[in-house]
Amino acid sequence: MCFMSRLTISAAELKSRFQVDLDDSQYRWQPAMEFSAFVHPKMPVIANNKPDKLQFFEWGLMPSWAKDKSLQNNTLNARFETLHEKPSFKNVLNNRCLIPADGFYEWLNPWAHSL
C-alpha cells in the first residue's frame, strides 16, 4: 500500500464494473480525490473470501499479535523482498484482495532534491 490513494467512482459504479453485490449496506461510500492512509479510511475491497461482494475494509494491516492500534501506522507499506521475513506480514500473505483505485501515490518532498 501507499500512504495516499484516490478513488473517484461511486459504490454503484464499482458494483457494476466488477459485477459484485454490496456486502455492507449500512456503510456509505464517498468517492474522493485523496485518501490518507494515516487516518485508516474504510475503502471498498473485493477479497478472496467473498469474491462476489464489495466489502469495506479499514486501510492498514493490524497484526493479530499487536497490543494497540498505533502499530497500524507502521504496516501501511511493505517491501515485496522482505514480506516473508517480517512478523507483521507473515500470516497474511495468502489473503488476497482487489483494491479498486484511480491511483496510489506518495507526495514528493520539494525540498528533498534541492539540497
Query: Cβ neighbours of residue 85 under 8 Å, at least 6 residues apart?
Result: none
Catalytic residue among 2, 13, 34, 97: 2
CA pair distance 40, 29, nearest whole angstrom = 14
Residue 61's nearest CA partner among 50, 49, 47, 75 is 75
Give strand ranges (E) for the chain.
Answer: 4-7, 21-22, 32-36, 42-47, 53-58, 97-98, 103-105
Catalytic residue among 13, 58, 97, 106: 106
106 is catalytic: yes
CA pair distance 23, 16, nearest whole angstrom = 14
C-alpha cell at 27: 456503510
81 is catalytic: no
Catalytic residues: 2, 106
